[in-house]
Homo-oligomer: A and B are copies of this chain.
Amino acid sequence: MKKFVNDPENFVPEFMAGVIAANPDLLEAMPEFQLIKRKNVDASKVAIVQGSGSGHEPAHVMAVGPGMLTAACQGPVFAAPPVDACYETIKSVATDAGVLVLVNNYQGDRMAWDMACEMAEAEGIKLKQFIINDDVAVQDSLYTVGRRGVAGNFFVMKACGAAAEAGADLDALYAVADKVNSNVRTMGLALTSCIPPAKGDPIFDIGDDEMEVGVGIHGEPGRERTKIKPADEITELLFEAVANDLPYNSGDRVALMINGLGGTPPAELYVLYNKAAQLCADRGLTIARNYVGEYCTAIEMAGCSLTLLKLDDELEKLLAAPAETACRIF
Contacts and interface: CB of A to CB of B under 8 A. Distances in A.
Given A5-B230, A272-B18, A57 B266 contact: yes
Nearest to A297: B265
Interface stretch (A9-17, A105-113, A180-188, A216-224): A9-17
A313 interface: no
Interface residues of A, number: 62
Contacts of A232: 6
A34 to B, nearest CB: 12
Given A55-B267, A299-B267, A4 B192 contact: no
Given A6-B231, A323-B330, A265 B18 contact: no
Interface stretch (A44-52, A84-92, A242-250, A288-296): A288-296
Contact of A274 (B18, B263, B329): B18
Interface of A: 2-7, 11-12, 14-19, 21-22, 54-55, 57-58, 62, 158, 191-192, 208, 228, 230-232, 234, 262-274, 277, 290-294, 297, 299-300, 302, 304, 319, 322-323, 325, 327-330
29 contacts: A4-B191, A5-B230, A5-B231, A6-B230, A7-B230, A14-B270, A15-B270, A16-B270, A18-B272, A18-B273, A18-B292, A19-B270, A21-B273, A21-B274, A22-B270, A22-B290, A57-B265, A57-B266, A62-B266, A263-B263, A263-B265, A264-B300, A265-B300, A291-B328, A293-B327, A293-B328, A325-B329, A328-B329, A329-B329
